[in-house]
Amino acid sequence: MQNIYGMTRTDLENYFQNLGEKKFKAIQVLEWLYQKKSNNVLEWSNLKKDLRDKISEDLSFARPKIIKKEADTLTRKYLFELEDKNYIEAVVMFHDYGNSLCVSSQVGCNMGCSFCESGRLKKVRNLETFEMVSQILEIEADLKLRISSVVIMGIGEPLDNFDNVMNFINIINDAKGLAIGIRHITLSTSGLVPKIYDLMNKDLQINLAISLHAPNDNLRSKIMKVNNVYNISQLLTAIKDYIARTNRRVTIEYVMLKGVNDSKECALELANLLKGLNIYVNLIPYNETNHLEYKKSDPKTISEFCETLKNNKINVTIRKEFGSKISAACGQLRSKEVE
């Protein structure tokens, strides 16, 4: 049975036209689901009863359940149980400019980045579109507030679940859906080069973030298996083509690992690699986990790394730390539940 929360406006229009109904019924349904937040078809008073009965018969309204929460001052982390008893997680970050939600796109991850808790537990399956949309709806209902920006940066590699992620973006960006502005949606990838081109050809004005985390192939291959398939040269070519096509600045994510990628030499090499590109670097203090040996770089080291990039005319910021007192590293809360 198809889940209604995984249906785009076009999907709903086709559904109603196949029933011999006018396609504007799709807008009415979207308004009930996402603006009035009603999943009770009996309340949908502008649809006739036999149509409401047909919708109830044809479509599922099931959503993943929140089964655990952790919180600190600026962060809430949620563990969801899916219908097949798998687990995913999502993290809310409270900013001055609004509430940002980091959503998962897969159950587990096959990218195998050595510093990432998500990759320690292998991919079970892709998330369906409705399972991604539901993360937002359930958390909005729990917190009684609006999510204003979304980052597809939780468990999983979004571009490895391309079609469902594209439908997810379509639904949450739709003015009659969750109406989250397209430039308030960020997709983070470890660097699946062919899929970056597929994304580029969608002509979306989303924010693209690339998980680079090393300035050369030797080091990157040691910590990110994907580099053995798509190396830095291939990735940089894709980034340049993406910028040229979309005219959008790309974020380069760089997690700071103590004694691994945080030396001044690494900073200089990174600056030389990225020189002249319309990018900015986001330095990320590492969220440590008991299962992995990596440690967070010292604040002084991170600051010096940042200054080296600035002195070499690279736009750079240090990400504010969120959730260091809770299981906020990607995959941590899920791994506690399944082990």
When pLDDT is averaged across residues 124-138 and rounded to a whole number, the result is: 98
Which stretch of DSSP H or E encloses residue 93?
A: strand 87-95
When pLDDT is averaged across residues 249-277 and rounded to a whole number, the result is: 98
* Structure confidence at residue 1 (pLDDT): 93
Q: CB within 8 A of 252, min separation 6: which ones? A: 209, 210, 212, 274, 279, 280, 281, 282
Domain extents in the chain: 2-60, 65-338
pLDDT in tens, 174-184: 999 999 999 99
pLDDT confidence bin for 331, thresholds 50/70/90: very low
pLDDT confidence bin for 322, thresholds 50/70/90: low
CA–CA separation, 179 and 177 (whole Å): 5
pLDDT in tens, 173-211: 999 999 999 999 999 999 999 999 999 999 999 999 999
pLDDT in tens, 133-169: 999 999 999 999 999 999 999 999 999 999 999 999 9
Positions annotated as catalytic residues are 89, 330
When pLDDT is averaged across residues 301-326 and rounded to a whole number, the result is: 87
End-to-end CA distance of the chain: 31
pLDDT in tens, 242-252: 999 999 999 99
* Phi, psi (degrees; rounded to nearest 5) at 283: -80, 125
What percent of the chain shows pLDDT beyond 90?
A: 88
Helix boundaries (H) for 212-288: 217-223, 232-246, 264-274
- 65-338 is classed CATH 3.30.1490.20: no
Residue 13 clears pLDDT 80, i.e. is over it: yes
C-alpha closest to that of 188 among 124, 242, 252, 268: 252
Residue 241 clears pLDDT 60, i.e. is over it: yes
Work out the mean pLDDT of the chain and round it to a whole number.
94
Residue 103 clears pLDDT 90, i.e. is over it: yes
23 burial (CB, 10 Å; 0-12 / 13-18 / 19+) is: middle
Give yes or no on whether 2-60 and 65-338 have one common fold.
no
* Structure confidence at residue 323 (pLDDT): 54
CATH for 2-60? Answer: 1.10.150.530
pLDDT confidence bin for 328, thresholds 50/70/90: very low
